[in-house]
C-alpha cells in the first residue's frame, strides 16, 4: 500500500468508509435536506445516495491501493474550486484544499483521480469510474462530467454524513441541481474555456442573465465566488491525515 496516498485518503467520511471497506457496504441513512445560508434547499433520496456511496467506497480504495499513481492533497490558505492550481506531473496529481476544510477532502480527491485517469493515454483507465456515456467526452464536456461526479460526492457528504458547508463545493452542487453547472464553469474559468463561453452565450443569450439572477438569489452575489486565486497562498505541505474513528 502506498504510504503517501494512504495519508491523503483518511479524511472526510473516514471512519465510515474505511470500516465499510472491510466489513461490506453499510446501510445509508435517510438523507436529510441540504440547506445553505440563503435558505435554498436540496433534497435527495436514499437509493441515489446508496449508489453514490457504493462507487465512492470502491474509488477511494483504488486511490489508496493502486501503486501506479499518486494524488497529493496540498493545503492552501484561501478556498478555491477543485480545478484551481490543479496539476498533473507524470503519474502524480496535485490538488489544493483550504487547510480547515477537511470535510471537503473526498470530492477533491475524486476530482483529482478522474482528471488524472482522463489524462492517461489508455481510455480504459477512466472506464471503471465514469458512466459509459461520459467516456468519449473531451474538454469542457469532460470537465462537466467530472464535476457531476464531484457534486454527487458532496451531496452524499452533506445529506448523509453531515459534512459542513463549504462554499466552492456548495456552488458546484447547487449549480448542478439547478441546471447551471455549465454557466458556473464558463464564468469561473473564462480564460480556460474562452471560445466555449463565447459560443455558448451567443447561442443562448439569456443564460448569462438567468445564471446571474440565480446566483444572486441563492448565493447573494452575481458571479462565482472563488474564481480569483490571486491572494491564495500554497503552503507546499501535504495536508495531514484525518483522525480515524472521529467525525471529520
More confident residue, 160 or 27: 160
For residue 105, what pLDDT is reported? Answer: 96
Give the pLDDT confidence score for residue 178 in this predicted structure: 98
pLDDT score of 6: 35
- Which is nearest to 113 in space by CA: 77, 170, 163, 72? 72
Report pLDDT digits (tens) over 83-94: 999 999 999 999
pLDDT at 82 over 90: yes
Considering only CA atoms, which of 117, 114, 31, 74 is closest in space to residue 235?
A: 74
Average pLDDT over residues 212-235: 80
pLDDT classification of 173: cutoffs 50, 70, 90: very high
Inter-helix orientation angle 46-65/14-23, to 10°? 80
What's the rounded mean pLDDT across residues 161-170? 96
Whether 203 contacts 195, CB under 8 Å: no
Give the mean pLDDT of 173-177.
Answer: 98
Q: Residue 121: its pLDDT value, please? A: 82
How would residue 239 be classed by pLDDT, with cut points 50, 70 and 90? low
Helix (H, G, I), strand (E, B) or coil at 121: coil
- Stretch 133-140: mean pLDDT, rounded? 95
DSSP 17: H
Is 100's pLDDT higher than 90? yes
Q: What is the pLDDT of residue 4?
A: 38
| Domain boundaries defined on the chain | 3-238
Whole-model pTM?
0.85
More confident residue, 218 or 246: 218
Question: Is a pLDDT exceeding 60 seen at residue 25?
Answer: no
C-alpha angle 86-165-231 in degrees, rounded to nearest 5: 45
Residue 112 pLDDT > 80, yes or no? yes
Reported as a single tens digit per residue, the pLDDT across 37-79 is: 999 999 999 999 999 999 999 999 999 999 999 999 999 999 9
The whole-chain average pLDDT of the chain stands at: 86
Query: In the prediction, which pLDDT does 228 show?
Result: 63
Q: What is the pLDDT of residue 237?
A: 56
According to the model, what pLDDT value does residue 23 have?
A: 41
Average pLDDT, stretch 126-138? 95
Q: Which comes out higher in pLDDT, residue 201 or 241?
A: 201
What cell numbers appear for 8 in the block?
491523503
Amino acid at each position: 500500500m502506498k504510504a503517501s496516498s494512504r495519508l491523503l485518503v483518511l479524511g472526510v467520511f473516514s471512519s465510515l468508509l474505511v470500516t465499510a471497506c472491510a466489513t461490506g457496504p453499510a446501510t445509508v441513512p435517510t438523507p436529510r435536506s441540504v440547506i445553505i445560508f440563503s435558505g435554498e434547499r436540496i433534497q435527495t433520496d436514499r437509493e441515489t445516495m446508496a449508489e453514490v456511496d457504493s462507487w465512492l467506497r470502491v474509488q477511494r480504495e483504488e486511490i489508496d491501493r493502486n501503486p501506479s499513481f499518486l494524488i497529493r492533497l496540498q493545503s492552501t490558505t484561501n478556498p478555491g474550486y477543485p480545478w484551481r492550481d490543479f496539476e498533473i506531473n507524470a503519474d502524480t496529481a496535485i490538488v489544493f484544499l483550504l487547510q480547515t476544510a477537511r470535510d471537503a477532502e473526498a470530492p477533491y480527491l475524486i476530482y483529482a483521480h478522474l482528471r488524472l485517469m482522463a489524462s492517461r493515454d489508455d481510455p480504459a483507465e477512466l472506464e471503471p469510474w465514469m458512466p459509459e456515456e461520459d467516456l468519449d467526452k473531451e474538454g469542457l464536456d469532460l470537465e462537466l462530467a467530472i464535476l457531476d461526479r464531484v457534486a454527487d460526492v458532496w451531496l452524499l457528504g452533506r445529506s448523509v454524513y453531515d459534512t459542513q458547508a463549504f462554499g466552492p463545493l456548495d456552488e458546484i452542487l447547487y449549480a448542478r441541481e439547478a441546471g447551471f453547472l455549465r454557466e458556473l464553469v464558463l464564468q469561473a474559468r473564462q480564460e480556460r474555456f474562452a471560445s466555449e463561453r463565447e459560443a455558448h452565450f451567443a447561442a443562448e443569450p439569456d443564460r448569462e442573465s438567468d445564471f446571474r439572477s440565480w446566483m444572486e438569489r441563492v448565493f447573494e452575489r452575481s458571479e462565482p465566488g472563488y474564481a480569483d486565486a490571486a491572494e491564495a497562498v500554497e503552503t507546499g505541505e501535504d495536508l495531514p491525515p484525518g483522525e480515524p474513528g472521529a467525525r471529520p
